Structure 1
Amino acid sequence: MSQGADAPPRGDPPNASESLVGAVRDIAAAAGALTLRWFGQRDLGVSWKRDGTEVTEADRAAERFVRERIAQQFPGDAIFGEEEGGAVRPDGRTWIVDPIDGTRGFVRGVPLYATLVALVDPYGPLVGVIDLPAMGLTLAAGRGTGCWLGDHRCLVSDHPVLRGAMVNTSSYETFEPEQFEALRAGGAMMRTWGDAYGYFLVATGQAEAMIDPVCETWDLAPMPVIMSEAGGIFTDVEGRPEYRNRNGIATNGLLHATVVAAMEAHRGSAHGE
């Protein structure tokens, strides 16, 4: 069953304050800066988790830093992190933390990894931050406050069709052949500038879509508010506005239905349609 079955409260969701967005941004940026102590080092002490993904001392230290900072500044909030667990509180606020999104690239010295922090309330993501430590860039958005890269307000592109659109993903291994072929046949420029960096490119208007057929809640929690505040759309691969279904699509909005339809292509093939 979908993890997104809980209905949000009725009424208009409250906007985030600029001070709250700033606090989340600062915590994420400080945690990201901490990871640079390990970035580029030959011996990172890499170990493997039960799900087959890599984890390093940097992952653990960055999440521990975020947890300690939240405990100091927001002691009443819950925390759900990739490395130390937790749960999303349905009736309050929860911080969702991915200390290093793109650990596999991080351990190989690829500078496109990110530190992700989201603050969600019963209505959904309230604040979302993508910090790119090795690039010195921090993208932050709050409900009703816009999406910002420093002093620059970010907006998605106005490219209206799949042909010529830049479409990113974290790995082609997670696609069904029919899905990839539908995107390619539609004229999309397929690239693997993925993980959080792919979403960053969509929010800043440098790409038109990012597709994650398989991922985790902490990979996606910042994306709905980032995309909506940048003028785009985030859903799961079936077009539902939910970040907890372990998959996601972000687009500039103009070609969202086309991308969702392409990801549905394998269903028609499976049924002989």
Structure 2
Amino acid sequence: MCRTGRSSDHGVGQGLDETLKADLIRVAHTVADAARPETLRLFRSTGLAADDKGAAPGGMGRYDPVTAADRAAEAAMRAVIARERPHDGILGEEMGTTTGTSGLTWVLDPIDGTRGYLCGTPTWGVLVSVADASGPLFGVIDQPFIGERFVGGFGQASVDGPHGTHPLATRPARHLSDAIVLTTFPEVGTEAEGRAFRAVSQAAQLTRYGMDCYAYALLAAGQVDLVIEAGLQPYDVHAPICVVQAAGGIVTDWQGGPAHGGGRVIAAANPRIHAAALALLQASLA
């Protein structure tokens, strides 16, 4: 199965029969297909309104927008699951949790990167994954505007897009001083977490910001070496975990443990760069 930790996608799906795996892959693609038109309908439209979840009671204070496109996309995704896999559970960013009876849960983020969506940048994506009680099994990172779809799990690791369909493979080992690091926010969580991130960033060759889920897609495609974030939710990371690990990478929390619960996440192209970055993060937090 697709698991957070130091192994890649070898032995994925043990305990699930091939018919079930094939059905889950089919439904994951169908769910992503359903979200595409809903996200594109309002993308780069003038005057798109957004509510601020961060300012609402229980919000985190930081600007956290949600648009009609987020809600319409999740509704379309849920409709597919209700039709195709009615006994499965659902965890979605906008519409919460629906309890299932199959032992499987679909984890959905209809637009991961709504801030980028509002700005018109193509670095947001639709996240679809399916998980059991121990973590994510198969995941999709879909970028509707570019027409790219990254998949990982059940022995698959590929991207389909403008350049055709190609296997995914993360970068080979290199020194941290040669590494490219991606993240979403320059401040990266709390003040202490930000200091820890900067310790890695300052040791690396290049750092870029504002990528949201597309950062993990680029890591899986062999373009960059590290993605480091904090303050994430499960729906932010389940699909990226599957895609990165299927491509040969590693995803853990900042202690080297499972990351599918969210929080502090480090995704790395290989064990060497993971160990080097993790050591700096932990030393800075000590």
TM-score (norm 2): 0.83
Instruction: Provide the rounded CA distance (Å) in 1 between the counterparts of 2:203 and 2:263.
Output: 25
* Cα 1:172–1:44 shift into 2, 3 Å: same
Question: Contact (CA 8 Å) 1:32, 1:114: kept in 2 or not?
Answer: no
Deviates more, 1:70-79 or 1:22-31: 22-31
* Cα 1:257–1:67 shift into 2, 3 Å: same
**Other-structure match for 1:149:** 159
CA deviation vs aligned residue, 1:204-230 (integer Å, no higher than 9, x gap) = 001111111222111001122212210
Question: Contact (CA 8 Å) 1:48, 1:55: kept in 2 or not?
Answer: yes
CA deviation vs aligned residue, 1:10-64 (integer Å, no higher than 9, x gap) = x945477344223202311330332100000112221111224111000000000
Instruction: Provide the rounded CA distance (Å) in 2 between the counterparts of 1:229 and 1:15.
Output: 19
1:34 aligns with 2:38: yes
Instruction: Provide the rounded CA distance (Å) in 1 between the counterparts of 2:188 and 2:98.
Output: 26
Deviates more, 1:16-25 or 1:101-110: 16-25
Aligned length: 258
* Cα 1:258–1:14 shift into 2, 3 Å: farther
**Other-structure match for 1:267:** 285
Instruction: Provide the rounded CA distance (Å) in 2 between the counterparts of 1:15 and 1:258.
Output: 38
Letter in 2 for 1:53: D
Instruction: Provide the rounded CA distance (Å) in 1 between the counterparts of 2:187 and 2:121.
Output: 19
Three-state SS of the structure 1 residue aligned to 2:172 is coil
Instruction: Provide the rounded CA distance (Å) in 2 between the counterparts of 1:237 and 1:228.
Output: 16
1:94-243 pair list within 5 angstroms: 94-143=105-154, 145-150=155-160, 151-174=165-188, 176=192, 177-243=194-260
Shift of 1:77: 0.4
Question: Contact (CA 8 Å) 1:168, 1:194: kept in 2 or not?
Answer: yes
* Cα 1:56–1:167 shift into 2, 3 Å: same
Deviates more, 1:172-181 or 1:100-109: 172-181
1:53 aligns with 2:64: yes
* Cα 1:90–1:226 shift into 2, 3 Å: farther
Shift of 1:125: 0.7
CA deviation vs aligned residue, 1:222-267 (integer Å, no higher than 9, x gap) = 1222122100101112211231132311111231111112222322
Question: Contact (CA 8 Å) 1:156, 1:252: kept in 2 or not?
Answer: yes
Task: Please report the RMSD computed on the Cα atoms of aligned residues, expressed in angstroms.
Answer: 2.2
Question: Contact (CA 8 Å) 2:87, 2:101: kept in 1 or not?
Answer: no
Instruction: Provide the rounded CA distance (Å) in 2 between the counterparts of 1:229 and 1:184.
Output: 25
Three-state SS of the structure 1 residue aligned to 2:232 is coil
TM-score (norm 1): 0.87
Which residues of structure 1 form unaligned runs of 5+? 5-10, 269-273
Question: Contact (CA 8 Å) 2:124, 2:212: kept in 1 or not?
Answer: yes
Instruction: Provide the rounded CA distance (Å) in 2 between the counterparts of 1:227 and 1:88.
Output: 28
Higher relative contact order (CA 8 A, sep 6+): 2
Question: Contact (CA 8 Å) 1:78, 1:87: kept in 2 or not?
Answer: yes
Shift of 1:112: 1.1
**Other-structure match for 1:8:** none
CA deviation vs aligned residue, 1:92-113 (integer Å, no higher than 9, x gap) = 1000110000001111111111
* Cα 1:165–1:33 shift into 2, 3 Å: farther
